[in-house]
Structure 1
């Protein structure tokens, strides 16, 4: 099988830099997943955005949620988590931007599924996701 495809969910208002760094470093590390930049390039109606994102999540094997300090206010991330759940796409979180185990989480993401940002940790979580949800 080809490398698993990952959807990267992040708080566009507070963690765009971390998303760019995470995605860029992922291309140059030995991570066991591939990803594309599926971020919306222009403003669109909410219903249009939801349909587009749901279809993109459905095309992936897993979702990685970049968890920043202000993640609990990111309504788009909570919606993406709900979409992943509804499509049986497994997901986990990675702390970024100074967030840690005391930072608030978005709705639908449990603390036990959020890890520090290390590439070995991400690789292990990706391997675990490939045994869960629609990948099982």
Structure 2
């Protein structure tokens, strides 16, 4: 498989640290076959500009990985990013972070059966699965 590009979706207000740790570990020594790029908006933008920017960035990726924290119910941007991914046929899966687990609230549009623990072997399996779905099929 080529080097898949992953868009990381996360709760900017609560899970920035976990996003940095996840991206850093993925780059360093994980067995996960993908490239993490921080394509999040670096500045506060009006909603329409943010949506245009994220849609453009999402279109250049092979998958969207949602970092599911304990407070996903308040992460409206994550819900929009999941919808953007699905509209672009970008496959989506989730990874529990920040103490979240199978009992935690998931953002709308993310299936529990497509959400895994932060374990690089299961994440690698999910990446391989995503490379056969949606726009990657």
TM-score (norm 1): 0.97
Determine whether 1:6 maps to 2:19.
no
CA distance in 2, matches of 1:127, 1:118: 14
Alignment of 1:1-136 (within 5 A): 2-28=2-28, 29-136=30-137
Q: CA deviation at 1:30?
A: 2.3
SS in 1 for 2:135: helix
TM-score (norm 2): 0.97
Q: After the TM superposition, which parts of structure 1 deviate over 2 Å for at least 4 consecutive aligned residues?
A: none
SS in 1 for 2:94: strand
1:36-71 deviation per Cα after TM superposition (whole angstroms, max 9, x unaligned): 111211111110000000010000000100000001
CA distance in 2, matches of 1:103, 1:30: 27
CA distance in 2, matches of 1:73, 1:114: 18
SS in 2 for 1:48: helix
Two-structure CA RMSD over aligned residues (Å): 0.8
SS in 2 for 1:7: strand
Unpaired runs of at least 5, structure 1: none
